[in-house]
Amino acid sequence: MILKKRQLVTATLVLALGAAVFVNWYYAKPHADVSPAQAEATVTAAAENLGDAQYVLSDVSGKHDPFAEARLKREQAQDAALEALQDVLRDSSATEAATAEASKALAALTGRLTAESDIETLVQAKTGLCCLAILDDDSAQVLLEKTPQEKSVLLQISEIVVQKTDLDAADVTIIESV
């Protein structure tokens, strides 16, 4: 009696394992329109690049994205300025005046970074256009990816910049990319 139960359990497990192997093979097999040579070439190409470093901001289609490059350059410059200001603040031999000036410059840089990010996010959300905001002490430039269809969009963008900064509408320049 015990021997028959063991044989029955073993047979059931063998059948379950066989069913699992079949289902795995069925869903993992190459598609009929891909030849075995093409499938092997794809697997080989993927295996060659496995673990290679990839550029994070790259576009899958390979198109040139000037906005991503400009944001990357702006971020690198801002990181360098931020690091220099933090070095002054960390330096124990720095004078009190230099530390106060560095703190003020750090606060201004942080405010400008936040305003640029907020402007870009709000313009994207309200108009659907990709943009790049560049703020200076006395002016603001907003570079748009394409010309908006309606003039009211330009007014919305100008209003966003005025709300997020202490600038007048006359100090805001909207540049339309060609």
Q: Kindly give, in sequence order, each residue whose CB lies less than 8 Å from that of residue 9, ignoring residues fewer than 6 positions away.
A: none
Question: Residue 176: what are its φ and ψ, rounded to 5°?
Answer: -100, 125
pLDDT band per the 50, 70, 90 thresholds, residue 133: confident
pLDDT band per the 50, 70, 90 thresholds, residue 107: confident
pLDDT of 2 > 80? The answer is no
pLDDT at 14 (0 to 100): 94
User: Are 167 and 161 a contacting pair, CB within 8 Å?
Assistant: yes
User: Are 142 and 164 a contacting pair, CB within 8 Å?
Assistant: no
> d(Cα 8, Cα 92) in Å, to the nearest integer?
79
User: Are 116 and 137 a contacting pair, CB within 8 Å?
Assistant: no
Does the pTM surpass 0.85? The reply is no
pLDDT at 55 (0 to 100): 58
Give the CATH fold of the 66-176 domain: Helix Hairpins (1.10.287)
pLDDT at 19 (0 to 100): 93
Nearest to 75 by CA among 112, 108, 101: 112
Across the range 105-110, mean pLDDT stands at 82
User: Are 161 and 119 a contacting pair, CB within 8 Å?
Assistant: yes
Highest mean pLDDT among 12-26, 76-90, 135-149: 12-26
Encode the chain in three state secondary structure. Answer: CHHHHHHHHHHHHHHHHHHHHHHHHHHHCCCCCCCHHHHHHHHHHHHHCCCCCCCCCCCCCCCCCHHHHHHHHHHHHHHHHHHHHHHHHHCCCCCHHHHHHHHHHHHHHHHHHHHHHHHHHHHHHHHCCCEEEEECCCCEEEEECCCCCCHHHHHHHHHHHHHHCCCCHHHEEEEECC
pLDDT per position as a tens digit, 78-90: 888 888 878 877 8
pLDDT at 173 (0 to 100): 87
> d(Cα 128, Cα 149) in Å, to the nearest integer?
12
pLDDT per position as a tens digit, 36-57: 556 555 555 555 555 666 555 5
